[in-house]
Amino acid sequence: AQGSGGALDKNGTKLSDEMSKICDPQFIKLISCLIRLIVLFITLITDTDNNGYLDLKDFENLALRFTLLELKGKYNPDSHQRNKEIMRNLWNEIALLADFNKDGQVTVTELKDAIKDACMAKKFDELPESLKCSIQSKFRSIDVDGDNLISLEEYRIEIINRSGCATIDEIDYCWDKLLNDDDRKKGGISLQRYQELWAQFIGSTKDDVNGVYLFGPLPLSK
């Protein structure tokens, strides 16, 4: 509630200025978007050597990671070379957009600002080309059985490998919220649907889209 003396909680008690800001819907949306961008940093675009920033080495490491995940532990030099090219192109694109001081490194803050400019309110087809390629590689790495659908079991593995969850219900709740009727009929998430969900996750300012559940339980996702 809002009165002449400031914001009130549900019991009619006046909130402090700081609490009023925290409870403001626009502030909550801003924090939610920031959380999604940080998740992007630690999932698809990973600081693999944990030095606090992204550089070309991180993307070369990702090329090998995606290759081994896609091939279920087997190694194919042609696949590795393809993923190297995808990751190098992605790094070049990110560096062009986000390496504002041209030091060959991209911090979380720089990445956040660049993604807001390049990805907000855009459909998957409008995203930067290298980002689209890396999202497709990510899909193949999650689709362990290679049936071109991400199943509940594959989703569970992806989420638990990325973050800690206390109960299976937390993960399954997000899976249920992630799916639409067509996903349920198919028995999982197709590549096209995964791309659509990614565009929602990274580009939408809304909290009621399916894509906010793409990476499982996050603050403000319930």
pLDDT confidence bin for 219, thresholds 50/70/90? low
**The residue type at 175:** W
Cα separation, 155 vs 88, whole angstroms: 27
Q: Which residues pair with 150 in a beta bridge?
A: 189
94-121 average pLDDT score:
79
pTM summary value: 0.63
CB neighbourhood size of 119 (10 A)? 22
- Alpha carbon of 150 to those of 104, 147, 168, 183: distances in Å? 35, 8, 17, 10
pLDDT value for 131: 79
Q: Degrees (nearest 5) of the Cα angle 153, 155, 157? A: 70
Quick one: fold of 36-213? Recoverin; domain 1 (1.10.238)
CB neighbourhood size of 87 (10 A)? 25
Q: Which residues pair with 190 in a beta bridge?
A: 149
104-108 average pLDDT score:
83
* pLDDT (tens digit per residue) in 28-86: 444 444 445 445 544 455 666 667 788 888 888 888 988 888 888 899 999 999 989 98
* pLDDT (tens digit per residue) in 157-186: 988 887 777 889 999 999 999 999 999 999
- Is it the case that residue 11 has pLDDT exceeding 60? no
Cα separation, 14 vs 9, whole angstroms: 6
Whether 156 and 176 have beta carbons less than 8 Å apart is answered as: no
Count of positions (residues) in the chain:
222
